[in-house]
């Protein structure tokens, strides 16, 4: 009987007209965005060659400019003003002498500071070669021209983490929220529909209330999972079409497979933490218009941990409160994927959080089942929690 209930709930939600239309529209938007993105990115990816002009006096800099990927034209004794008057004018003209050059620009293209740095590197290289310094020393001196620094503050340490991992963690938390919200909306609506039409009275003559609720949780969960997988496949297809991710090999190169596995596990936990409890809460009302109150509370219970995880990411990912909440069921499904993606948590911590989340699933499912069993047949009245627990006692 459980299989029949699961199949009915799965088909009812997955093949509903609203769900099919939403899937078709979303996939069409994804694919359309991918096609548009391909054209835009192709235009943006066309490399713009930097063009310089050198005079007779600065001609010795030409080979060093070409080594930096610059296209160079020798204009002889032509003045910079005359060069820029041409339709095919270069980005910059190097006047003065090879030892003390001067950069002329016409305020188009890259900032003039970039052209100055290119010219500076060419000038330094030219002077070093004239000084008969060994090539090894020349390369070291040129490298010293572009010194870098490393900031060891917490924010800087966060910036040095795996960008793809952090992005995957945030996207994963968003997917978990979406799946949870879909379940929180789908299960209560189905429960109240059956209760208001009194169909549930007939169904419960052949099956236990807990079995009926379990079938709804699994059936709706399967439909939600298939729907979201379709969205993800559509989004990945759009990314592939646009050329942002030319192949799945990129995922392997950035080492993101463990993060994706972790996200998938938390999707399951995130859904089941809320699902059965949502069904139990929904059974306390008999009309769809009375469902808004309990539904709003469940939605806020999902949104608050998600926003805390995302907005606390950059400034507080190493903070004690962030670490503690990442082990609390209801919060962990959003905090842990982000911490794992940011290399702030290993598999040992994840396993502990899995165990706590599994315990929460058992307790909340049992609580939801008790509420459901003691409320589902009370038609026409809004059942209070005090009545349920008084009866249970």
Residue 263 included in any domain: yes
Pair (176, 237) in one structural domain: yes
Burial of 76 (0-12, 13-18, 19+ CB in 10 A): exposed
Tokens for 140?
């070291």
Residue where a domain terminates, one of 92, 110, 144: 144
Number of H helices, E strands in the chain: 18, 4
In this prediction, residue 393 carries a pLDDT of: 47
Convert 30-68 into a string of H (helix), E (strand) and C (coil).
HHHHHHHHHHHHHHHHCCCCCEEEEECCCHHHHHHHHHC
Pair (279, 202) in one structural domain: yes
Residue 337 included in any domain: yes
Strands 71-76 and 51-55 come out as parallel
184: closest CA among 327, 307, 281, 305? 281
Residue where a domain terminates, one of 144, 178, 201: 144
Range of the domain at 70: 51-144
Q: Is the pLDDT of residue 186 over 70?
A: yes
Share of residues in the chain with pLDDT > 90 (%): 17
Q: Is the pLDDT of residue 259 over 80?
A: yes
Of residues 245 and 57, the one with the higher pLDDT is 57
Strand order in the sheet with 71-76: 71-76, 51-55, 92-96, 101-105
Pair (201, 111) in one structural domain: no
Of 21-30, 116-125, 134-143, which gets the smallest average pLDDT?
134-143
Share of residues in the chain with pLDDT > 70 (%): 82
- How many structural domains are present in the chain? 2
**Average pLDDT taken over every residue of the chain:** 81
Quick one: residue 378, left, alpha or beta (phi over 0 = left, psi -120 to 50 = alpha)? beta
- Residue 95: strand pairing partners: 102
Residue 45 included in any domain: no
* Beta carbons of 242 and 34 less than 8 angstroms apart: yes
Residue that the structure tokens 């379940």 belong to: 183
273-295 pLDDT, tens digit each? 888 888 888 888 878 778 888 88
In this prediction, residue 370 carries a pLDDT of: 87
Convert 179-246 into a string of H (helix), E (strand) and C (coil).
HHHHHHHHHHHHHHHHHHHCHHHHHCCCCCHHHHHHHHHHHHHHHHHHHHHHHHHHHHHHHHHHCCCC
State the Cα–Cα distance between residues 248 and 144, nearest whole angstrom. 38
In this prediction, residue 336 carries a pLDDT of: 94
Pair (58, 178) in one structural domain: no
Residue 58 included in any domain: yes
- Reduced to 3 DSSP states, what percent helix, strand and coil does the chain have, rounded to the nearest 5? 70, 5, 25
Pair (254, 219) in one structural domain: yes
Residue 40 included in any domain: no
State the Cα–Cα distance between residues 311 and 315, nearest whole angstrom. 8
Pair (221, 87) in one structural domain: no
Residue 43 included in any domain: no
Residue where a domain terminates, one of 112, 144, 176: 144
Q: Is the pLDDT of residue 388 over 80?
A: no
357-386 pLDDT, tens digit each? 999 999 988 988 888 888 888 777 777 767
Residue 162 phi, psi dihedral angles, 5° rounding = -65, 110
Q: How confident is the model at residue 355 (pLDDT cuts 50, 70, 90)?
A: very high
Q: How confident is the model at residue 306 (pLDDT cuts 50, 70, 90)?
A: very high
Pair (135, 243) in one structural domain: no
Q: Is the pLDDT of residue 47 over 70?
A: no
Residue 245 included in any domain: yes
Q: Is the pLDDT of residue 149 over 60?
A: no
Pair (126, 172) in one structural domain: no
State the Cα–Cα distance between residues 151 and 102, nearest whole angstrom. 35
22-46 pLDDT, tens digit each? 999 998 998 898 888 777 766 544 4
Predicted structure pTM score: 0.67
State the Cα–Cα distance between residues 126 and 391, nearest whole angstrom. 92
Pair (167, 110) in one structural domain: no
Q: Which SS3 state, helix, strand or coil, does residue 305 take?
A: helix
Pair (336, 233) in one structural domain: yes
52-97 pLDDT, tens digit each? 889 988 888 888 888 888 888 898 888 888 888 888 888 888 888 8
Q: Is the pLDDT of residue 152 over 60?
A: no
Q: Is the pLDDT of residue 153 over 70?
A: no
Q: How confident is the model at residue 245 (pLDDT cuts 50, 70, 90)?
A: low
Pair (21, 80) in one structural domain: no
Pair (121, 75) in one structural domain: yes
Residue 152 included in any domain: no
Of residues 208 and 37, the one with the higher pLDDT is 208
């Amino acid at each position: 009987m459980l299989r029949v209930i699961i199949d009915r709930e799965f088909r009812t939600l997955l093949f509903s007209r609203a769900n099919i239309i939403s899937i078709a529209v979303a996939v069409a938007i994804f694919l359309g965005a991918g096609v548009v993105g391909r054209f835009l990115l192709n235009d943006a990816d066309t490399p713009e060659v930097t063009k310089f002009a050198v005079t007779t006096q600065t001609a010795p800099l030409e080979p060093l400019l070409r080594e930096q990927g610059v296209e160079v034209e020798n204009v002889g004794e032509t003045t910079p003003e005359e060069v820029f008057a041409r339709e095919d004018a270069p980005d910059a003209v190097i006047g003065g002498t090879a030892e003390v050059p001067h950069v002329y620009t016409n305020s188009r293209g890259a900032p003039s500071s970039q052209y100055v740095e290119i010219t500076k590197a060419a000038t330094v290289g030219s002077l070093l070669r004239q000084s008969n310094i060994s090539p090894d020393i020349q390369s070291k001196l040129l490298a010293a021209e572009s010194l870098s620094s490393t900031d060891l503050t917490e924010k800087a340490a966060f910036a040095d983490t795996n960008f793809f991992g952090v992005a995957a963690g945030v996207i994963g938390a968003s997917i978990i929220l979406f799946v949870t919200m879909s379940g929180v909306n789908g299960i209560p609506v189905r429960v109240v529909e059956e209760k208001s039409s009194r169909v549930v009275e007939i169904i419960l003559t052949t099956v236990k209330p807990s079995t009926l609720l379990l079938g709804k949780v699994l059936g709706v969960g399967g439909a939600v999972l298939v729907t979201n997988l379709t969205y993800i496949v559509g989004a990945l297809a759009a990314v592939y079409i646009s050329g942002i991710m030319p192949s799945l090999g990129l995922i392997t190169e950035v080492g993101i497979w463990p993060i994706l596995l972790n996200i998938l596990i938390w999707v399951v936990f995130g859904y089941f933490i809320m699902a059965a409890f949502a069904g139990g809460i929904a059974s306390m009302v008999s009309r769809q218009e009375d469902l808004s109150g309990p539904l709003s509370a469940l939605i806020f219970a999902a949104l608050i941990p998600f926003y805390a995880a995302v907005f606390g990411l950059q400034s507080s990912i190493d903070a004690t409160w962030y670490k503690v909440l990442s082990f609390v069921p209801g919060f962990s499904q959003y905090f842990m994927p982000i911490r794992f993606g940011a290399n702030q948590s290993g598999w040992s911590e994840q396993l502990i959080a899995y165990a706590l989340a599994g315990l929460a699933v058992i307790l909340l499912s049992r609580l939801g089942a008790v509420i459901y069993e003691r409320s589902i047949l009370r038609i026409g009245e809004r059942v209070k929690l005090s009545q349920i627990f008084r009866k249970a006692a």
